[in-house]
Structure 1
Amino acid sequence: MRPTIPELREWNTHRVSEAGAVAESAAATLDNAMDGVIRALDATSGWCGESRCAADLTVARERGNVHEIRNILNRIADEAEDAGADLTHARELVLRLVDAALAGGFVVTDLGEVVRVDMSKETDAQALEVAIMRALEVVGQLDDDHGARLERLAGELAATRTGQPVPRFSNGHNVNPDEVVATLRSMTAVERRELWSRMAADDRRRVMHADPQTIGNLDGVDFDTRADANEINIRNALTEERQAGRAAGPRAAVLEEFAKRSPDGTAERRFIAFDNTAEGRFIEMVGGLGSGTRNATVYVPGTRSSMNRSAESYGVAQDLAQRTGGPVFVYLDGDLPQKVGFEGLPDAVGRGAVAGLLGIGSGLGESIDDSAVETGFARDMAPRLVGFGAALDAELAQRAPEATTTFIGFSYGGSVVGSAEQLGLRADRVVYASSAGTGVFDGPWRNPNPEVERYSLTAPGDPIQYVQSVPGNPHGSDPDTAAGVVRMDTGFTGPDANGHRTLIEGTSSHGSYWHDPNSDAFRNIVRVINGDEPTPYVERAPDRPTDPYAEGLLDIVVEGGKQIIRDGLGPLGDLLDGDIDLPGPIPDIPLRLPW
């Protein structure tokens, strides 16, 4: 129902957001109290017998109920904060329009009708009235929608005291939520989606509130439910950080950003997967997904990407979503390497040529451990990416059946995407952007789509060129020369204030185009996602300069690379150019790296 203008002026929408903060505080207090009970019980090691068994059973039974109440309170907190933000924005828009009409000499009725005083302004009056009426309609709809959701959540909270009806399967059997979760876990994604779709909406919410951590990360559960579950998971994780004394830490700061709305305040952030592990795992959907969606993109970032460093990937996804009109999924549902692989070499190289040669083996071994050189990260992430691709296809089939999918693997992420293709990832288009390779597994790509379009994007002088060309590269072939892959032009940067454009090349070209939506490289990626023809590669500089070190290669692969350049590059150079350089006319010794 549309409010009147006087009613709208009396609204204090900020109180709704304040109520959300109260609900969040109550959830944290309840969670902390339950933890206190468990700690106290654990501390009574000398207490045994029937009374202790009864206490253990009671706490175990009540713990699930307490967590369900906590989860509903967190949903109320999230909904109230969203309602406050939406209604504040919509109310201010209506009042700005009304005040502008009044300042222009018009009369505005309580219902939003605009009355002309000057006959010559009839057209202006009609336009203002249409705008005010539409804005009032939005306010009324938002009020109804948020109010209905808050009322439903309040009912579910009350039902935790009086007893909620247990979920009912289509065969008529009643089961408790934990049993439903266990059943869902045991199913394939296809079976899970079929069962989940047959459950009543109230039953699905009850199961989600009982175990949001599981439901928020299950392929086969619809994306809206997964996102709702992960709102709870994020708030619970933030509470854990605060209770552990890490409220001022980097993870808490990231979780606070995750729980907020988008920077422009127009939408809440939506996560299709979330797990508060050491590096953090998540899949974030940036942009909307609806019946008119024409494309969806999955972006897999590269080395050093993690939850704590997710702001850069979020910015990339925002730019892509804005220019393609479809959702972009930042895929970090797994651990990526947090170092390139040469960080431990400076000390060995800095000892001088002889000492460096003697120490290079042990230095290299330490450096590549858990680094981007290793393939284990791609082997671990690729199967899950295949599963998420299938879940995305199923979601699009229901909500946007005409939409196409594009998977983009950047740097190490390219190895993940290529490996997923080897395992059967289905995609309409694939982009290997500054990719480490085409996949770590043996055998060809097995994308079920026979008409998949594949593209690569690597700038001249990009340090990844040396990885791509290393004999026996563990991450697969060079995507720029792989059969069936079209190499796109990286071209020039977007114009600066003076209209000047610079060739994208050298060390910085490895990822600079992601931060330059007006660059030729970024525009080509957008063309691929939109189904348009990208511009093919034009050679303007050599891919691998004859003197790579002068181009600053090690600035990206070794922190403190300038010091290495000064103190001796021979041993590291041998690792990169494939042989051991010997003086004078003595032939170089061919070197094959131990992978």
Structure 2
Amino acid sequence: MRGRTRRPAAIGMTGVAEVLGWPLDEMLAAATRFDTGGERVANTSDSIRRSSDLDPTWRGVTRQAADKRVDAETTALHRLERTLLDIARTTRDGHARLAAIRDRIASQLAAAQTSGFDVGDDGAVTHPDPSRRADAAYLTDRITGLLDEADAADVSLGTSLDALVRQLDGSGSLVPLPNGEYVDAADATFLLKLLPPEMIARYWASLNDAQRRDLIEAAPDVIGNLNGIDFADRAAANTRSIRDALTVEIQAGRGGGEKAGRLRELLAPADDPRHPGRKAPRSILGFRDEGNGHFIEMVGDLGPDATGVAVLVPGTGTGLHSVDDYRRRAVGLSRASGAPVIVYADGDLPQELIDTDLTPFENTAFDPGAAHRLAPRLVDFTGALDQQLAVSGLTLKTTLIGHSYGGSVVGTAEQLGIRADRIVYASSAGTGVESGPWKNANPEVQRYSLTPPGDPIHYAQVLGAPVHGGDPDTAPGVTRLDTGRYADGTVVEGRHAHSGYLDDPASGALRNIAAVVAGREVTPYVDRGPDIDARGQAEAIVDGLLDETLNLVSLVLPGR
């Protein structure tokens, strides 16, 4: 294994023989030695601290100076311990990834050779029978793809280990850059992207405030969207990115346009969920000036007084144009639950329920593409949230809320193994677009659903079941909740109910969601009317009787 920057193919890349010859068993032995070293360093640190406390009568300036020295030494030892354990864990993780790739290559190689194919060291496959040329090309793609994966895994592991080993050579008290060198901030942010979130978090914690500011100034678009960066610093970086985006609009002569107005609103204080009538700076944890406008906004604060934390994934029509609508809804939920609410729209969601002529499928609410794209990002972000809670010493329960198409995103994330304490499918399009069941990363996860009677999403739950996975209200292990009444006493029902309860903090549906987030008692499902005869409507669509159906679903406005 090389552990260096990948060379262009013309110079050379990882070959079959090299991969099959990787001495991976030695990696596990090395990891064990690093674990042992970390334990010894920890014992040494504890011994130094105990020794300094042996004489409680020792006081004065000398004692103060000695204490400072002990603090410095034990801090250095703790850092060394963490580095050794990080090396051990990274080595084990790298071993698992490299071994899996090696075994897949060996399997492909054996299968090809058994079938009479010749496999070159570069992965090129040939067969003496010209009629097998297409098969050879297919196998070439498979094997060379695995070699590329091996090369990337090798380089990634080498980069990660280089960054850690550099912390052992005396430079760890400074700024250990990911590639082991000391470079300007722009180069540092580029290398930072190569590291896993856990290592990013440790790296970021090792920097002082000035160094963090330099990295934010150099690449706010990177730092503001990088899992492993402290949330406060992500927000600071995204504030810079939003200012930059606004400058682009102004310089292009669009300073008075709708987009510029939205960007200005993101930079301005907004309603404080904890203090009605007051304003608070907005905390944007993710921002990309692309597509329909990607954003992650935290409404409320992560603190010891919070009852939990919620991540709300919105649905069709969401984009920069609806960021204020979802902040308003998040404020209502935050006040009702006593918990911060994170609106997660880190990608392009469909902007149309269905095309008017029913022919284009792509980029409509029936297209699973957005769920495929957003779900892995959601998994990674919730991992960063767990990490943020851990370093903050908070034991808050995390609730994922998927509304409309966002429910399909959350369900897909569950199929990918997302970790959460509670999950709410709110007027959800389905249970996930991947094949296979929910993976239950947390075996004690609690799942809930709610869909008002007459909500047009019932159409999608039937018509879109082959794509989005079906109705979460009837899914095994899901507790269906009552949607109740609005603040004025009317039942939450009908075509406007799809999002109407999110706009009414006193509605039974939103209060039930708030109860889930806060860990309070919930109100189970009450039959307040028929859902919708969705199967009958499906037959009508098949028969071409679309007018009334399209008129109904068209009233579900974008972002609602």
Which TM-score band (shorter chain)? 0.5 to 0.7
Q: Decide which of 360, 365, 376 is 2:359's aligned counterpart.
A: 365
Write the distance in 1 (CA, Å) between the matches of 2:485 and 2:326. 22
Cα distance per residue 1:111-153 (max 9 Å; x no partner) = xxxxxxxxxxxxxxxxxxxxxxxxxxxxxxxxxxxxxxxxxxx
Which of 455, 461, 465 is the matching residue for 1:462? 455
Residue 257 of structure 1, aligned match among 262, 265, 284? 265
Q: Shift in Å at residue 456 of structure 1?
A: 0.4
Q: Deviations over 1:91-111 (max 9, x none)?
A: xxxxxxxxxxxxxxxxxxxxx
Which residue of 551, 556, 560 maps to 1:555? 551
The amino acid that maps onto 2:176 is F
Q: Assess if the C-alpha contact under 8 Å between 1:489 and 1:521 holds in 2.
A: yes
SS in structure 2 of the partner of residue 480 of structure 1: helix
Question: Which residue of structure 2 aligns with residue 477 of structure 1?
Answer: 470
Structure 1 unaligned residues grouped into runs of 5+:
1-165, 345-362, 496-500, 562-595
- Which of 373, 380, 395 is equivalent to 2:373? 380
Equivalent pairs counted in the alignment come to: 371
Alpha-carbon separation, structure 2, partners of 1:560 and 1:506: 11
Give the Cα–Cα distance (whole angstroms) in 2 for the partners of residues 462 and 553 of structure 1.
12
Of the three residues 185, 188, 200, the one matched with 2:193 is 185
Per-residue CA deviation, residues 422-478 of structure 1 (Å, 9 max, x unaligned), is 111110000000000000000111131000000001011111112212374300121
Kindly tell me: are residues 328 and 471 of structure 1, through their superposed partners in 2, closer, same or farther at Cα, counting changes over 3 Å? closer
Moved over 6 A (4+): 546-552
| TM-superposed deviation, 1:201 | 2.3
* Inter-CA distance 465–401: structure 2 relative to 1 (3 Å threshold): same
2:384 alignment partner in structure 1: 391
Q: What are the within-5 Å matches in structure 2 for residues 147-546 of structure 1?
A: 168-169=175-176, 174-263=182-271, 264-341=277-354, 343-344=355-356, 363-366=357-360, 368-470=361-463, 472-495=465-488, 501-545=489-533
Distance 1:463 1:559, change over 3 A: closer
Instruction: Give the C-alpha shift of residue 315 in structure 1.
Output: 0.7
With over 3 angstroms needed to count, the CA separation of the structure-2 counterparts of 1:388 and 1:210, relative to structure 1, is same
TM-score (ref. length: structure 2) = 0.63
Task: Give 2:293's aligned amino acid.
Answer: G
Summarize the Cα distance change of 1:452–1:559 in structure 2 as closer, same or farther, 3 Å threshold.
Answer: closer
Residue 420 of structure 1: how far off its partner (Å):
0.7
Contact 2:498 2:556 in 1 (8 A): no
Does the CA contact (< 8 Å) of 1:320 and 1:328 recur in 2?
yes
Structure 1 pair 167/336, CA: closer, same or farther in 2 (3 Å)?
farther
Percentage of identical aligned residues: 45
* 1:474 counterpart SS class: helix
Change in 2 beyond 3 A, CA 1:462/1:249? same
> Does the 8 Å CA contact 2:339/2:517 hold for their aligned counterparts?
no
Task: Give 1:553 deviation, angstroms.
Answer: 4.9
Q: Which position in structure 2 is the counterpart of 1:80?
A: none
Change (3 A) 1:278 1:246: farther
Change (3 A) 1:553 1:532: farther
Determine helix, strand or coil for the equivalent of 2:479: strand
The 1:554–1:491 alpha-carbon spacing in structure 2 relative to 1, beyond 3 Å, is: farther
Distance in structure 2 (CA, Å) of the matches to 1:295 and 1:439: 25
SS at match of 1:319: helix
Deviation sequence 1:277-323 (CA, Å, 0-9, x none): 13000100111122333311101111011111222111111111122
Are the counterparts in 1 of residues 291 and 348 from structure 2 also a CA contact under 8 Å? no
- Separation (CA, whole Å) in 1 of partners of 2:426 and 2:548: 20
User: Helix, strand or coil: the match of 1:312?
Assistant: helix
Larger mean Cα displacement after TM superposition, 248-257 or 283-292 = 283-292
Task: Determine helix, strand or coil for the equivalent of 2:279.
Answer: coil
8 Å CA contact retained: 2:224, 2:235: yes
- Match of 2:466, SS? coil
SS in 2 for 1:241: helix
Instruction: State the AA in 1 paired with 2:551.
Output: D
Amino acid at match of 2:175: R
Q: What residue identity is the alignment partner of 1:460? A: P
User: How does the TM-score come out when normalised to structure 1?
Assistant: 0.60
Aligned-partner Cα distance in 2 for 1:537–1:284 = 31
Residue 487 of structure 2 aligns to a residue whose secondary structure is coil
- Which amino acid in structure 2 is aligned with residue 428 of structure 1? D
Larger Rg: 1
Structure 1 residue 220: Cα displacement: 0.5
1:334 CA drift (Å): 0.4
* Conservation of the 8 A alpha-carbon contact between 1:302 and 1:413: yes
Partners in 1 of 2:447 and 2:203 — Cα distance? Answer: 35
Distance change in 2, residues 1:513/1:471 (3 Å):
closer
Contact 1:493–1:504 (CA under 8 A) maintained in structure 2:
yes
CA contact (8 A) 1:440 1:475 kept: yes
Which amino acid letter does the alignment assign opposite residue 369 of structure 2?
Answer: G
> Does structure 1 retain, via aligned residues, the 8 Å contact 2:454–2:530?
yes
Q: Take 1:410 and 1:417, find their aligned partners in 2: how far apart are those partners?
A: 9
Shift of 1:199: 1.8
Going from structure 1 to structure 2, the CA distance change for 1:369 and 1:179 (only over 3 Å counts) comes to closer
Q: Deviations over 1:407-429 (max 9, x none)?
A: 10000000001001111111000
RMSD: 2.4
